[in-house]
Amino acid sequence: MSAPQDHDSRLADMLRRYRSRSAAEREVKPFRVFHDSTLEELVEQKPRHPKQLGEIPRFGPATIGAHGAGVLRVIDEWADWRWTDLLDPEGTGEDVSVFEDALGDSSWTKVLTQLYLSFSRGRPRVTSKDLVLRTGCSEETVRRVLVRMDQKGIIDRGGRGEGHMLGHRNAEDLIYALERIEGRGKSDGIGHLIEHLRVTEIVDRSSVIDDGILELLDGDPVGIHGYLDDRDEAAVWAENSLRNVLEVSHEGVVHYRYALSNGARPDAAIRMPDGSMLCIDAKLPIGEFRNLAGDPSKKKSFLGNLKYSIRKTGETYADPDAGTASFCILYIPSEGIIHNIRELDSGIHNFAWEKNVILASPTLLAILLGSIDDSGPIPSEPRNSGFWNDLRHLRTPTIEIKDWERDKKSFSMTNRAVWKHLVEWKHLVEDSKLKDLDKSVSRKASMRVSTQESERKIVRVMIERYRSAKADMDIAIREGTGATQLDIMAQRNSWISRSTLLKKSGLECSNSRFSQILGGMEDRGIIERSYGENEGVAYVIVTLRSGAQRLFGSDKEEASELAEMFDDSGNLTLLLP
């Protein structure tokens, strides 16, 4: 890999420009963004993942939160330039005798040597035609060797015109062994290229960066500068965070967007032992919180808006006449925001209780969900016994709290006393959480749910539809159906309606979230959508595109099946012989 100092100089310049822009935006000196010595370490180590940022000297949590994502994107941009064309167009006439002396001069060694030399130059893919020219072997010999290498998992065999390369997932040790045989000190460059190839396989790079930084910051989005400033994005993040808490903390059935008889639809609902629905709604006022941090005079406005949300949540989702429990939960997926709310107004939880609302952070919600006893008998007390009728189903939390054991018998007191005890218990839980709870629970509770598995479910539904349609087409061909009719059948069966796709994929998400997932898939060439109208009713249909193969890079069976579904031009076809 030639002239690495030139490549490093360009990366250093790009990082300096980023630092200057960030400093100007914050009206601080560039060294306050990160120091020159830190910049040099970034150039030297070239981190590609959030966890690697934590290994950079003087790049601590505050810097990671403010600049981690920006720095990683700069390095991504540099890497895309550094390895712009991953197809090696021609050989360089390098001496291959060192490999033949060590490994022999078989056709296998010749092909392997050329694949390695292309990889070590930073252009890992080389076509079959070029391999024939460089090795002096026949086309049939090269093809046979490539097939055997593919079967053993040594190479990633490309399609027509794509070229083949040593598999960085399964053959990394082999690549480094060949580097040692060559003895030209290429290991650092090879390592950076392997990391780049791994990064380019990530379907949703932005989400991976954000999630990695969230994990480093114990799962709290508040610590990431500029993250989720868009109100709609914050709402989706909050809903996904809620789903993640429910997945790891509640074993029973969860109803998403459950329709209450009053017309309201909470983000989630859990059926209580007496048949009522405990409603949970998610809210992330991160924009308002950041505005408050920048201007303390906005405290009154911030708390006023929060109390309005609490009142509306209680009125809407704590409505026994609509089949709900007599209290509900307002979930704020940020330990930092919840902590600061308590600092701003120590009585905010009492206010929420008075409105029949539990104000819950990720950790507290996990505790409450783990405490709901959905296996015991329905209590015999009448509904007019108030909140206690529902709250009695909260058993002792998973952490040890002596005061709970001492005071739990007093819950036969009046409702007001019940509230007082539960508020005190709640504060005690929050004060103890960092000591007594595994931090991984907190991180999992507030990590965004990745869309990749959802995308795979969608593609699997479309693969299954293709199988069924292909079987129907084969029958039609055997029955002598005419070419025109076959073309019509192929066109019709290549598409699936959006509503059918949502139903069969089994995704429990809102229509807007499903559209967001499909939009991201379409942008990356995984699917294509088409819009139409039939008798005044609008519809959307979806078809696969060749980019779907990238979702199953490590799944040979599905990747191979997808490859067979497309012609050389990348179009889905049902008329292959």
The ranges assigned to domains in the chain are 4-82+202-216, 97-185, 221-446, 452-564
pLDDT score of 312:
93
What's the angle, vertex CA 482, arms to CA 477 and CA 483, rounded to 5? 90
Question: Are 97-185 and 452-564 equal in CATH topology?
Answer: yes
- The DSSP code for 164 is B
pLDDT score of 532:
77
Give the whole-angstrom CA distance, residue 417 versus residue 408.
12
Angle, helices 286-294/335-344, rounded to nearest 10 degrees: 50
CATH number, domain 452-564: 1.10.10
Ordered mean pLDDT values, 10 residues apiece, the chain (577 residues): 70 93 85 89 90 85 81 90 73 75 88 89 86 89 88 81 81 88 86 85 72 66 62 76 78 83 90 84 81 76 89 92 89 80 84 88 78 40 36 33 37 36 44 37 39 83 86 85 82 85 83 77 83 74 83 68 72 60
- Tell me which fold the domain 97-185 belongs to: Arc Repressor Mutant, subunit A (1.10.10)
CB under 8 A, 24+ apart: contacts of 402-410: 403/428, 404/428
Token pair of 247 as six digits: 């997945």
CATH number, domain 4-82+202-216: 1.10.150.80
For the chain, how many helices (H) and strands (E)?
A: 28, 10
pLDDT score of 90:
62
Three-state DSSP class for residue 575: coil
Three-state DSSP class for residue 331: strand
* Amino acid occupying residue 374: D
